[in-house]
Amino acid sequence: KAGVTQTPRYLIKTRGQQVTLSCSPISGHRSVSWYQQTPGQGLQFLFEYFSETQRNKGNFPGRFSGRQFSNSRSEMNVSTLELGDSALYLCASSYGTGNNQPQHFGDGTRLSIL
Amino acid sequence: KQEVTQIPAALSVPEGENLVLNCSFTDSAIYNLQWFRQDPGKGLTSLLLIQSSQREQTSGRLNASLDKSSGRSTLYIAASQPGDSATYLCAVNEYGNKLVFGAGTILRVKS
């Protein structure tokens, strides 16, 4: 069974640009969550999507948004990039939500802002 | 606001030692607690999930315990090996699939 796939693996952007990251969950998984990982703040929850609906959102500005498609694939978008957005962005998938199922993480997209 | 703390921040042990990693959390209203490992440049690998009604879970050389009332969990690794070297992360599941993570323990097992 294929794992969680995130594309691209690496991305370099400049301040003010926008970026879209993609996540394909494990087949059959309907929940996708996004996290930001930085050396200073550690891992922080961005948002969760289940059956195309945003179920929960972390404490991030509105520049961070996401969506989920009918095949459970998810994208997150960051607009007006800032230097502080440089991070590893991780996606996790799970069969359900709030049902004690483990979450499976992809290898992430490393975003660097110049 | 939930806060998760992991102690120690780093640990270096010789191969073969048994070791304990600690995790504490401030709000006991959780669905479950999960332990992950992260290798450099990689995502997270799920190790163990303990539901809020459970006291412990075991997988191979790993054993995790949960004391929800005191807000503590421990991860016990038996007979450590160099391949166990990684960052170990503790996370509590509060709502839906939202995880709140600790800062991690960096483990180095020397051969």
pLDDT at A99 (0 to 100): 72
Mean pLDDT value of segment A94-104 = 84
| Distance between CA atoms of residues B7 and A86, nearest Å | 27
Residue among B98, B100, B105 with most chain A CBs within 10 A, to mutate: B98
Higher pLDDT, A46 or A2: A46
**Residues of A in Cβ contact (< 8 Å) with B99:** 33, 35, 43, 45, 92, 103
> Cα(A96)–Cα(A75) distance, rounded to whole angstroms?
18
Minimal-distance CA residue of chain B relative to A43: B101
pLDDT at A26 over 80: yes
The pLDDT confidence band at residue B41, using thresholds 50, 70 and 90, is: confident
pLDDT at A1 exceeding the cut of 70: no
Of the candidates B42, B91, B96, which has its C-beta nearest A48's C-beta?
B96
Report, as an integer, the average pLDDT of A67-92.
97
Q: Which of A44, A100, A101 to mutate to test the interface with B (most CBs of B within 10 A)?
A: A100
Give the residue with greater pLDDT, B64 vs A1: B64
Choice among B15-19, B64-68, B96-100 with the minimum mean pLDDT? B96-100
pLDDT-based confidence at A96, cuts 50/70/90?
confident
The verdict on a CB contact (< 8 Å) between A98 and B51 is no
Three-state SS for B14-33 is: ECCCCEEEEEEECCCCCCEE
CA atoms A74, A46, A106, B35: torsion sign:
negative
CB pairs under 8 A between A and B: 68
Q: Cβ of B34 under 8 Å from any chain A Cβ? A: yes
Determine, for residues B43 and A106 on separate chains, whether the beta-carbon distance falls below 8 Å.
Answer: yes
Give dist(CA A76, CA B45) in Å, integer.
22
**Is B22 within 8 Å of B72 (Cβ atoms)?**
yes
Taking the Cβ of residue B102 and every Cβ of chain A, the question of whether any pair is shorter than 8 Å is answered with yes
pLDDT at A107: 95
Confidence (pLDDT) at B96 = 83
Q: What pLDDT is attached to residue A4?
A: 96
pLDDT value of position A100: 80
Mean pLDDT, chain A, integer: 95
